[in-house]
């Protein structure tokens, strides 16, 4: 796994994207040989997050062929003109996620980013989780909702509420680069991974 794209869009939740981004960059400093970028849905000079943070993406998602695509959540329950709900209605981002998966990328959703994976059809028949406030919406899809902080179904992963993006990212670092790199990252960030990880072969605590 050499390239990572963290996807941002108008109204995304800051921590959903910036938390995993920092974990992955620290992993690169600790020996993970991957390139981490922030990607927009369309070409954009800046993208504004839900609490006002403005980020400058490295380019649109379609411009890269990433091994790992992580999509932030945010704004799903507000049903507004910006955020995950709006992106699901527009359809462009779910199409990009499905296309990335079809090309062989591992795709992960943080918080209600998982609902964008569901809209892309990537959670059909798979175990998954999302923010607690959107679980009923997830149950209305073809996903199998499970009680876990992080759900690993191989090439598709999901995580619960906002801070679980950190746990998802640390877990992915450990999965792809080993416990030593993961421990170096958590020591640097003074963070301890929380909650359970549900996998096809059982539940890890």
Tens-digit pLDDT profile for residues 45-98: 999 999 999 999 999 999 999 999 999 999 999 999 999 999 999 999 999 999
For residue 73, give the DSSP letter: -
For residue 40, give the DSSP letter: B
Percent of the chain with pLDDT over 90: 96
Q: Quick one: angle between helices 14-29 and 179-189, nearest 10?
A: 120
Q: Using pLDDT thresholds of 50, 70 and 90, give the confidence band for residue 203.
A: low
Q: Strand, helix or coil at 9?
A: coil
What pLDDT sits at residue 201? Answer: 67
Q: Strand, helix or coil at 70?
A: strand
Q: Quick one: angle between helices 164-177 and 179-189, nearest 10?
A: 140
Whether 177 has a pLDDT exceeding 90, the answer reads: yes
Task: Walk me through the domains of the chain, giving residue ranges and CATH numbers.
Answer: 3-196 (3.40.50.880)
Of all helices (H) and strands (E), which one includes residue 37?
strand 35-39
Whether 205 has a pLDDT exceeding 60, the answer reads: no
Q: Strand, helix or coil at 130?
A: coil
Whether 202 has a pLDDT exceeding 80, the answer reads: no
Tens-digit pLDDT profile for residues 7-26: 999 999 999 999 999 999 99
């Amino acid at each position: 796994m050499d390239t990572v794209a963290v996807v941002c869009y108008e109204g995304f939740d800051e921590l959903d994207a910036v938390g995993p981004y920092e974990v992955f960059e620290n992993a690169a400093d600790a020996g993970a040989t991957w390139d981490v970028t922030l990607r927009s849905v369309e070409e954009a000079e800046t993208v504004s997050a839900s609490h006002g943070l403005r980020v400058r993406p490295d380019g649109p998602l379609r411009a890269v062929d990433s091994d790992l695509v992580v999509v932030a959540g945010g704004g799903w329950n507000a049903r507004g003109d910006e955020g995950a709900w709006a992106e699901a209605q527009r359809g462009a981002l779910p199409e990009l996620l499905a296309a990335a998966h079809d090309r062989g990328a591992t795709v992960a959703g943080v918080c209600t980013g998982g609902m964008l994976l569901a809209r892309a059809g990537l959670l059909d028949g798979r175990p998954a989780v999302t923010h607690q406030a959107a679980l009923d919406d997830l149950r209305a899809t073809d996903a199998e909702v499970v009680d876990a902080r992080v759900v690993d179904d191989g090439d598709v992963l999901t995580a619960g509420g906002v801070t679980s993006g950190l746990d998802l990212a640390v877990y992915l670092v450990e999965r792809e680069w080993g416990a030593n790199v993961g421990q170096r990252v958590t020591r640097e960030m003074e963070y301890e991974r929380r909650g359970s990880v549900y996998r096809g072969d059982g539940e890890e605590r």
